Amino acid sequence: MISFCRIIGLLGLALLISACTLPRSAALQSEILANRDATERTFQVVAVTRDSVTHLRAWPVTGWKGQYRWFNSDRQPDSSIIQTGDRLNIVVWDSEDNSLLSTDGSRQESMPPIEVSSSGTIFLPYVGEIAVRGLTTPQAREVIEQNLAQIAGSVQVQLAVEGGRNNSVDMVGGVAAPGRYPLETRNTKITTALALSGGVSASLRNPLVRLQRGSEIYETRAKDLLSDANRNVTLRGGDQITVVEDDRRFNVIGAAQTQSVIYFESEHMSAMEALSEMGGLAGARANPKGVLILREYEPQHIAPGLAGPDFQQVVFTIDLTNADGLFAARQFPIHPNDTVLPTESVVNSFRTILSLLGNVVGFSTTVDNL
């Protein structure tokens, strides 16, 4: 039977030894933040709480633009935009007698199909060239009526548009069958084009759909496109569609269940979601009061005060042992290239020393019950 005094002595020895540097799988919070109050510090330490998280979310975004740019649901592209090569079928109605636009006393005149020229215009007798490229069908009809009104004040126009040679889209990559695909109708959706090209390649991790229209580029995650009908936009001839991998990621090290590179599974990820993705903290090894997030800002992001960080390198700290920290973790965003580091618990080092001493003096059972 080990005497009480001997146990106390061994505990004191354990505390002394644990104060030294021990081999560990993660650093202690006190070690990483040792220089937080130094005169010439090179990084900033910020506690993430419910009081601070609102203004921290307004700090500059690092690692990417902050969101993917896609079409607003109330401003989706109009598929009836007229383009070069389209054919316009025009029927002119005129109630005036002896009209220049009608023959044999008829009140209407059907013109031969007119192709939109490379300059974006059509030619009409008595009027000349009319610019129609880039207009919707109703807009083009109104412009044609306005021009014809110069020679026939009561004229009305009926207009139908047939897609021309430029009425196709290019499926560039990331699909089973890349190539050029004609738009079957003026109301062809992007999911239809993806289906016609064989669908998104199964080899892509977290696929991202990228649509280029002229000089503008729009992006959305494939699973968001498929789950949200408002994102299923109408295509225009000349659109180019590429499916690529969403390569945004963050690192996990320290006392976590998983130490690896983790890719974003959604457009945005909170600290709480990041903890779930990495399998949570590593049991008794982790210090739930010391979950650290290391982030590197750009020089132009420095804005002391509430507007931004004081230093380029910032260590955010989260305490998961109280409701304040838990709710803050649900709101605090993880940025691409962040490092999530759950620190080691001091108790774990102490238990390690006790275990070693216990094996020597024969009270390992006592150690396990501590």
**pLDDT tens figures, 230-243:** 999 989 888 999 99
38 falls in which pLDDT band (50, 70, 90)?
A: low
Q: Is the pLDDT of residue 293 over 70?
A: yes
Average pLDDT, the chain: 83
In this prediction, residue 361 carries a pLDDT of 47
Q: Which residues make Cβ contacts (< 8 Å) with residue 276, sequence separation at least 6?
A: none
Q: Is the pLDDT of residue 33 over 50?
A: yes
Residue 297, token pair as written in the block: 């800002």
In this prediction, residue 132 carries a pLDDT of 93
Q: Cα separation of 184 and 199, whole Å?
A: 17
Q: Is the pLDDT of residue 23 over 80?
A: no
Q: Is the pLDDT of residue 289 over 70?
A: yes
Q: Is the pLDDT of residue 65 over 60?
A: yes
**All structural domains of the chain:** 10-63+249-368 (3.10.560.10), 87-162 (3.30.1950.10), 168-245 (3.10.560.10)
Residues paired with residue 240 on neighbouring β-strands, in sequence order: 170, 212
In this prediction, residue 263 carries a pLDDT of 96
**pLDDT tens figures, 100-141:** 566 666 677 888 999 999 899 999 888 899 999 888 889 999
Of 8-17, 33-42, 91-100, 331-340, least confident by mean pLDDT is 8-17
In this prediction, residue 367 carries a pLDDT of 45
360 falls in which pLDDT band (50, 70, 90)?
A: very low
Q: Considering the entire predicted model, what is its pTM?
A: 0.71
Q: Is the pLDDT of residue 279 over 80?
A: yes
Of 9-18, 43-52, 153-162, least confident by mean pLDDT is 9-18
How far are the Cα atoms of 18, 20, 351 from residue 11, in angstroms, in the given order? 10, 15, 10
Q: Comparing 29 with 22, which gets the higher pLDDT?
A: 29
Q: Is the pLDDT of residue 9 over 50?
A: yes
Q: Is the pLDDT of residue 13 over 90?
A: no
Residues of the chain with pLDDT > 70: what percent?
78
In this prediction, residue 214 carries a pLDDT of 86
Q: What is the average pLDDT across 273-301?
A: 92
97 falls in which pLDDT band (50, 70, 90)?
A: low
Amino acid letter at 250?
Answer: F
Of 1-5, 49-53, 280-284, least confident by mean pLDDT is 1-5
Q: What is the average pLDDT across 12-25?
A: 51
Q: What is the average pLDDT across 342-356?
A: 61
